[in-house]
């Protein structure tokens, strides 16, 4: 049994808490919103995030971050949106340093620091693991990894069979995550391609937005199939420019996550795209949502990155025009269909 601290009490933090509790671990969850934390601790549920899920009394919810570290955790999980990662890591650093003081020749009890966020940081365009690495002491650098893949919190919470991948630099850390997270309904593979996993996780949300637009406009399976295929080509193109392993994008964090997010009724990004395709305004859609659709800000960030790297990503460009420049959804799809003809591999 391991002590596990989850920083972030939204849908993913809650789902991870249930998964790890089922694996007999001692789990504590920090939630920044005090009212939500109190509700979770007292009522053992929060239907705004996970409908119908009741949490066992052994899972401890708190608004006080210090309570996550009264017993040094073996695993720390950051389950907050990408736009809050840096601030949250900065907030948690003093507690981590106090819980794990550096001592010459002494092996730290901390085995893994896991990121669940999917996106890039605005302005810096850094990947999530890069942000975490910058904000924590260098001694923890090889403990940092990212867990990703075709997985919705709602299904993980209900014990639906799910397969994901964990990416990092240290084989012992990856082995530990695989061992502690896996069970009969949740299987974890591992890879050293941290860049590929994080790029696949980020860009697929843009393609999922576009898939929602396709559905909202009432187009069919032909259109969706074409969009996902060309979307995967964009993910690969960016990944290769950033020196990722091309094989990663045929795996769980590439093709697997792309298809799942683009077709699922659980997908927040697909939902936003669907409402846009139906003619609703972006600000109105977002104002009604409790949870964050990472693909919106990711579209802006990936568009900036592809401009910097001078990479052709036409779906990303059209989604940027739709989201931030007021382009009509039908015109965006038409622009993709009427691009200059070329070889499929180009």
What pLDDT does residue 345 have?
75
CA-CA distance, 160 to 185, in Å (whole number)? 6
Could you list the pLDDT tens digit for every one of the 346 residues in the chain?
899 999 999 999 999 999 999 999 999 999 999 999 999 999 999 988 899 999 999 999 999 999 999 999 999 999 999 999 999 999 999 999 999 986 544 556 899 999 999 999 999 999 999 999 999 999 999 999 999 999 999 999 999 999 999 999 999 999 999 999 999 999 999 999 999 999 999 999 999 999 999 999 999 999 999 999 999 999 999 999 999 999 999 999 999 999 999 998 888 899 999 999 999 999 889 888 876 778 899 999 999 999 999 999 999 999 999 999 999 999 998 898 888 778 887 7
Q: CA 55 from chain center: how many Å?
A: 23
Dihedral angle over CA of 320, 234, 13, 280, nearest 10? 30
Cβ contacts of residue 159 below 8 Å, gap of 6+?
22, 185
Does the annotation count 107 as an active-site position?
A: no
Indicate which residue of 126, 143, 204, 306 is catalytic: 204
Contact 40, 29 (CB under 8 A): yes
pTM given for the model: 0.94
């Amino acid at each position: 049994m391991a002590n596990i601290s989850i920083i972030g009490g939204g849908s993913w933090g809650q789902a991870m808490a249930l998964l790890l509790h089922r694996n007999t671990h001692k789990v504590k969850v920090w939630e920044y919103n005090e009212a939500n934390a109190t509700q979770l601790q007292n009522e053992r549920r929060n239907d705004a995030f996970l409908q119908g899920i009741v949490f066992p009394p052994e899972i401890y919810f708190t608004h006080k971050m210090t309570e996550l570290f009264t017993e040094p955790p073996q695993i720390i999980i950051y389950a907050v949106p990408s736009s809050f990662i840096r601030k949250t890591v900065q907030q948690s650093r003093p507690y981590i340093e106090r819980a794990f003081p550096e001592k010459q020749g002494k092996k730290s009890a901390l085995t893994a620091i896991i990121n669940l966020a999917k996106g890039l940081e605005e302005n810096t365009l850094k990947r999530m693991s890069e942000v975490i690495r910058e904000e924590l002491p260098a001694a923890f650098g090889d403990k940092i990894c990212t867990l990703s893949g075709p997985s919705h919190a709602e299904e993980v919470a209900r014990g639906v069979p799910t397969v994901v991948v964990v990416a990092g630099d240290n084989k012992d850390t990856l082995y530990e995550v695989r061992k502690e997270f896996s069970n009969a309904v949740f299987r974890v593979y591992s890879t050293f391609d941290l860049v590929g996993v994080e790029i696949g996780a980020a860009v697929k949300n843009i393609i999922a937005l576009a898939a929602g637009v396709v559905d909202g406009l009432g187009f069919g399976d032909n259109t969706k199939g074409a969009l996902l295929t060309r979307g995967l080509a964009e993910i690969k193109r960016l990944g290769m420019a950033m020196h990722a392993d091309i094989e990663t994008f045929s795996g769980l964090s590439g093709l697997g996550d792309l298809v799942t997010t683009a077709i699922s009724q659980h997908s927040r990004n697909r939902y936003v795209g669907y409402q846009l395709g139906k003619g609703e305004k972006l600000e109105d859609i977002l104002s009604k949502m409790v949870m964050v659709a990472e693909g919106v800000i990711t579209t802006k960030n990936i568009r900036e990155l592809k401009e910097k790297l001078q990479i052709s990503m036409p779906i990303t460009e059209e989604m940027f025009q739709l989201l931030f420049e007021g382009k009509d959804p039908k015109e965006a799809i038409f622009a993709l269909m009427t691009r200059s003809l070329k070889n499929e591999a180009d």
